[in-house]
Amino acid sequence: MQKKSTSEFGFFNPRVLIALLFSAAAACSVLTGASLAFFGPNGSTKVSNRTLSFAERVSYQRAIEEVYWRHRIWPKERPDPKPSLDAVMSQAQVEKKVADYLRNSQALEDYWQRPITAGQLQAEMERIAQHTKQPDVLRELFEALGNDPFVIAESLARPALSERLVTNWYAHDQRIHGELEQRAQAELQAHPTVEQMKQLDGKYREIEFVRGDSAQGTANHSHEHSVKLNPNEWDEMVQNLARTVSNSSVAAAVSAAQATRLPLQKPALASTVSRANGASITQVKTGALSPLQEDEEGYYATAVLSKTKDRLKLATVSWRKQPFESWLTRAENQVPNTTAAGGGHYTLPKISEGGCIDDTWTATNGPPDRRESQTAVWTGAEMIVWGGQAGNSIFFNTGGRYNPSTDSWTAISATNAPDARTSHTAVWTGSEMIVWGGVDENFVELNTGGRYNPGTGDWIPTSTTNAPDGRNAHTAVWSGSEMIVWGGGMEAPFLTPAEDTIPTPTVGPLPAPSTRLRHELLTRQCGLAVE
């Protein structure tokens, strides 16, 4: 196992810790006794003078998919012509997309009593038109929907808005996650010492941080890893630990804020936190367990096991929340044949002419959970982000698809997805994203992967027959018919999606480059270049 860099194991990275350990849970409505069966035929809907049948919605969804498919990149290395949309997406798959956004809309109304209104849909259309990064593509979408503001609101704005709202409401709903939080709190109260952390039901992890150039060797076992920090990162780490573990007044204030769902930016707390800035290693207490913390993925507590002037060994125990997708499958999967906006008059918004402006940064709307060491590919219509980690204890097998034309994110299904991992690779084939390799939450190097179709939302596992040894920090490219991976410890052969087998590579007359990590692998007209 190779030593991992700060960017690869980020739970105790100062940039991640500051966001994780000091974010208050969002306020939510606590409505006791609500039933999970919110998709039944008795669910109420707002009635307006105009409705769309399920069949009409499907036809409009196909028109949207046609626009996206036209813009999907067909790699120049592929010798076969780009197929039609019908060849890559069935009618049933289009119908599923419609059913999914109607189900989200119904969940908002029946479970959270937050039906999507006409005013919200109009505002979402205005947001999309104003913040689009691809105005020409958005015009194509509007034209495909007949430039009809009602159809655009229902077929383009509703899917994006319902996904964003239902995800936000789910993340901090105490009816859903409250039992887990209470269980985690009870466990911490029953086992309040660092020595008892391993007795907790949560996931236990250890990691060592090293300042400067003193990081040597690799971990002693699969639960311990050394991460090297530069001086600025080290100082931020120390200050953060002084706030969370050693400063009891700050820890108590943070815990109270989370318990009452109050914002952490109150003046008194801000003053207390500011006193922890500039803390030295002597102010970091060992053997002290932090209060229970929360983020979108779960609950966790942290402790400093040992320290020297340039080393810190930390432990964390975490309880992961039930993923939204698995919770949703417990509910009835009925959708209404018609769902209409809640009355009102729609107007067609004016599409911004700005698009992307050179040398500027613009925040995206509604991204997936924060993470690092994930992969990203560009399809020509969307950016697909998958995998990665939010610290030493949370590894993802989830992701999101960012659509710049509508400035919106769509979650990637975890059904049949590869195991959670970080430091893997991903390539775009023209119709699929292939991910492979990396390390899992036990820091085991993987030789598995998956093929993701963004049009259908489906995953297909890659074969492990003749697969190379598991690895991370390798590289991968798409040759036109194969994904070629190399490095991370040894040369690796090819993965052909059509055959889904990995043949034994041949070695040319000249020796391959020396083994290496975090390199670049590029396609050339006459082969590959390793840099």
Per residue in 81-130, pLDDT tens? 999 999 999 999 999 999 999 999 999 999 999 999 999 999 999 999 99
pTM for the model stands at 0.72
Q: What are phi and psi of 361, to 5 degrees?
A: -115, 140
Instruction: Return the CATH superfamily for domain 359-531.
Output: Kelch-type beta propeller (2.120.10.80)
Mean pLDDT of the chain: 76
Average pLDDT over residues 481-499: 68
Closest CA to 228 of 472, 519, 3: 3
More confident residue, 89 or 512: 89
H or E element that contains 120 = helix 118-131
Task: Give, in order, the Cα–Cα distances in Å from 282 to each of 279, 307, 350.
Answer: 8, 9, 59
Contact predicate 322/176, CB 8 Å: yes
In 3-state terms, what secondary structure has residue 156? helix
Closest CA to 50 of 135, 153, 137, 202: 153
Highest mean pLDDT among 76-80, 259-263, 388-392, 518-522 belongs to: 76-80
pLDDT in the model for residue 140: 97
Structure tokens at 181: 């939080």
More confident residue, 456 or 343: 456
Task: Give, in order, the Cα–Cα distances in Å from 529 to each of 426, 467, 475, 496.
Answer: 18, 22, 11, 20
H or E element that contains 251 = helix 248-260
In DSSP terms, which residues pair with 35 in a beta bridge?
none
Contact predicate 168/367, CB 8 Å: no
Closest CA to 186 of 172, 173, 200: 200
Domain boundaries, the chain: 4-28+174-320, 359-531
Q: Would you put residue 278 in left (φ > 0), alpha (ψ -120 to 50) or beta?
A: left
The percent of residues in the chain predicted with pLDDT above 70, rounded, is: 68
pLDDT (tens digit, 9 = 90+) per residue, 192-216?
Answer: 898 999 999 998 888 788 887 554 4
Task: Give, in order, the Cα–Cα distances in Å from 254 to each of 24, 169, 293, 511.
Answer: 8, 22, 8, 58
Indicate whether 34 pLDDT > 50: no
Q: In terms of DSSP bridges, do strands 425-428 and 203-211 run parallel, antiparallel, or are they unpaired? A: unpaired
Distance CA 454, CA 215 (A): 41
Distance CA 503, CA 465 (A): 9
